[in-house]
Structure 1
Amino acid sequence: MRRAVIGSLAVTMALSVAACGKAGDDKSDSSKDKSIGLLLPENATTRYEKFDRPLIEAKIKSLCSDCKIEYANAAGDPAKQAQQVSSMITKGVKVLILDPQDAVGIKASVQAAVDKGIKVVAYDRFAQGPVSAYVSYDNEKVGELQGQALLDAMGAKATPTANVVMINGDDADPNAAMFKAGAHKALDGKVKIAYEQSGLWKDTVANQKVTAAITQLGAKNIAGVYSANDGMAGGIATALKGAGINVPLTGQDAELAGIQRLLAGTQTSDIYKAYKPEADATAEIAVKLLNGEDIKSVADITATSGSGTTVPAKLFTAVSVTKDNVKDTVVKDQLFTVAQICTPEFAAACKTAGIQ
């Protein structure tokens, strides 16, 4: 009987030691598993590969030197991005920074990631589904800034009968709807929106749409053009030049080509959304989520997505840019160097603007 008790205790102790060892091993593995995924939506807009990706990766590394970063770009394909989320799940990332190509369509993928214990941070565009945080700019305000800048550039020509062409972003992007709403808030009743279409964030599509607008309205009957971003503004500027039209034209993203058009006078306004603060805040939130820390010190407000999910958020304020304040915005913040902006083609314009 005594031997049986001793034998039983020995087995119990062995199992306990094994259990403790297993728990310790899990904890050790977990501490080494610091993988963060980064998914960006497209590469037609230069910002994502040139600014967003390197800035986010650099900030993550500064906060977590042993963190592993998994990266992929959807190249404008929602189905491809859904596959990339699945790949991130398979790779075992613990936090996923997601800038959705299709904010509604990605909802099931977000849910699948969360079901596997992954924390999802919606970056720049508000992905639907159970995300843990959202970081972006006040995008309706961006639209208002664009609309007001167009009115300012039109001056006395901004009348309720003045024809304005609106080329909006991709409807799959929730930001596009907010830019559009903000622009209408500024423009409605002050000018006539005579033609409005989506340019899908593509210069070629925007060029086609404005060419159609010129045919429909007549070159002399267009008083201004709202373009939701710089990429499309490039295609629009080409169409306007081809038709011999020089009217106020908006943009967004402060792309190098957009800034150069401001100086040359073929684009009248831009929107500067400093990439670094947005990228830094997102990286900081991702690392805090990875470490199980509270994120409210960074995400200091809340925002509600199109699916009704309310989450901690950080929203920054954008700046309207014209040729008059290029020097005090993008040049001052070293977004681009003077040499990058003031190539021989734009040297005279730079001199006039006081940049060189």
Structure 2
Amino acid sequence: MRTRRLHAIAAMAAGLMVTALAGCGGNGGAGGDSFTIGLLLPSYGRPRFDHFDRPLIEKRLKELCARCKVEYANAGDDAAVQRRQIDTMITKGASVLILDVVDPKALRSSVEAAHKSGVPVVAYDRLAQGPVSGVVTFDGMQVGRLQGEALLKALGDKADRSQIVMMNGDPTGPNAEWFKRGALSVLQGKVKIGKSYDTVDWQSENAHDNMSRALAALGPGGIDGVLAASDSIATGAISALKGAHVTPLPPVTGQDADLDAVRRLVSGEQYMTVYKPFRNQAGAAAAMAVALGRGDDVGGIATGTIDNATTKDIPSVLLTPVPVTVRDIKDTLIKDGLYTIDQICIPKLRAACDKAGLT
């Protein structure tokens, strides 16, 4: 995977760009035509997909094309299920697909089938293989770098004498390797990596099992930090650490700004998460899908190009992730309207919220 040029988008710029597209496009602009857009998300296991991505994408699609129909499917982390879902949407006459692919290699033939049927595919959040027509995602290398930098900061001047465990994502997806490479670019040579595990399906249960193995191998006192690739992985890792009565808990990273993870930031059980402004991502993907459905070029939406394993120079929007610790919650997640104070500061966290300046 490589980019032709650097193309991170500031949140305000992305919002303005997508808003401007509401009045553009063929057939008389937004609401002047109608077609079906297939939205295929990969997992129920990570709360962000149904809590944020789906409603934001559907809302933006309706704003850009009021008469368009949206068909939704969630694959539940099963590539075979997602293959059938894609086939069904093509058969039912979808004009364009927004695809967050479960397994890029396994679904390559489905992307090719869509292309042959004249159905363009927008790869969302993960870079699919095959002849996709556009890509909207976050800079995965930067996600990993932010996690690695935060962990080193938490370890402080003891980092060079510390041992960490890396809890990576599912290797069947391209993002997991992207995140890992970003983290290693920061961590290698700065801290000892005692164990490194891949987490099948990004599931917290699998992360719990892997952390239990690390505890057995390194001992409860032998883990000074945990590089967890996502908040769901952090959930399992922290559960295993607490089950082994590790106190104090070592710093643990995360990603996705899940509500439970944000509450863990407040309680001190998790050190940081990576917030990916989903509204910008959803807006750019919706704009690409509507443009492609109308037969328009997406060059005015894309901010650069990216290559996958099979196709070069794919129009892309590569967005900038944001690191969040407890000190940043108010100026990021609350400011953006992702959560309210009341959602985060449940009764048992009121004292911690007061200490963090949230209430």
Work out which of the residue numbers 285, 291, 294 in structure 2 matches 1:291: 294
Residue 247 in 1 paired to residue 250 in 2? yes
Query: How do residues 87-166 of structure 1 correspond to structure 2 at under 5 angstroms?
Result: 87-159=88-160, 161-166=161-166
Distance 2:157 2:245 in 1: 21
Deviation at 1:297, TM superposition (A): 1.8
Q: Structure 1 stretches of 5 or more lacking a match?
A: 1-26
Q: Which amino acid aligns with 1:190?
A: K
Q: 1:224 to 1:214 in 2, by over 3 A?
A: same
Over aligned residue pairs, what C-alpha RMSD do you find?
1.2
Q: TM-score with structure 2 length normalisation?
A: 0.89
Deviation at 1:163, TM superposition (A): 1.2
Deviation per residue, 1:66-97 (Å, 9 max, x gap)? 10111100011000000111001101101000
Q: Secondary structure at the match of 2:256?
A: coil
Q: Structure 2 stretches of 5 or more lacking a match?
A: 1-26
Deviation at 1:307, TM superposition (A): 2.8
Distance 2:311 2:295 in 1: 25
Q: TM-score with structure 1 length normalisation?
A: 0.90
Q: Which amino acid aligns with 1:240?
A: L
Residue 321 in 1 paired to residue 324 in 2? yes
Residue 198 in 1 paired to residue 206 in 2? no
Q: Secondary structure at the match of 2:190?
A: coil
Deviation at 1:109, TM superposition (A): 0.2
Residue 332 in 1 paired to residue 331 in 2? no
Residue 185 in 1 paired to residue 188 in 2? no
Distance 1:308 1:164 in 2: 37
Deviation per residue, 1:171-216 (Å, 9 max, x gap)? 1111111000000001000011110011221111101101110110
Q: Which amino acid aligns with 1:45?
A: R
Q: Which amino acid aligns with 2:290?
A: V
Contact 2:33 2:65 in 1 (8 A): no
Deviation at 1:169, TM superposition (A): 0.4
Deviation at 1:142, TM superposition (A): 0.5
Deviation at 1:292, TM superposition (A): 1.6
Higher normalized contact order (CA 8 Å, seq sep 6+, divided by chain length): 2
Residue 216 in 1 paired to residue 217 in 2? yes
Q: Which amino acid aligns with 1:332?
A: K
Distance 1:205 1:171 in 2: 13
Distance 1:109 1:249 in 2: 37
Size of the aligned set, in residue pairs, is: 326
**Residue in structure 2 matched with residue 351 of structure 1 by the alignment:** 354
Q: Which amino acid aligns with 1:164?
A: I
Contact 1:37 1:96 in 2 (8 A): yes
Distance 1:33 1:333 in 2: 31
Structure with larger Rg: 1
Q: Secondary structure at the match of 1:336?
A: coil
Deviation per residue, 1:118-162 (Å, 9 max, x gap)? 010000000000000000000111000001001011112211x42
**Residue in structure 2 matched with residue 21 of structure 1 by the alignment:** none
Contact 1:72 1:84 in 2 (8 A): yes
**Residue in structure 2 matched with residue 35 of structure 1 by the alignment:** 36
**Residue in structure 2 matched with residue 4 of structure 1 by the alignment:** none
Contact 1:128 1:309 in 2 (8 A): no
Distance 2:106 2:284 in 1: 25
Distance 2:307 2:97 in 1: 19
Q: Secondary structure at the match of 2:328?
A: coil
Contact 1:170 1:176 in 2 (8 A): yes
Distance 2:134 2:356 in 1: 41
Q: 1:338 to 1:110 in 2, by over 3 A?
A: same
- The farther-off stretch of 32-41 and 216-225 is 32-41
Contact 1:157 1:223 in 2 (8 A): no
Q: Which amino acid aligns with 1:135?
A: V
Deviation at 1:306, TM superposition (A): 2.7
Deviation at 1:32, TM superposition (A): 6.1
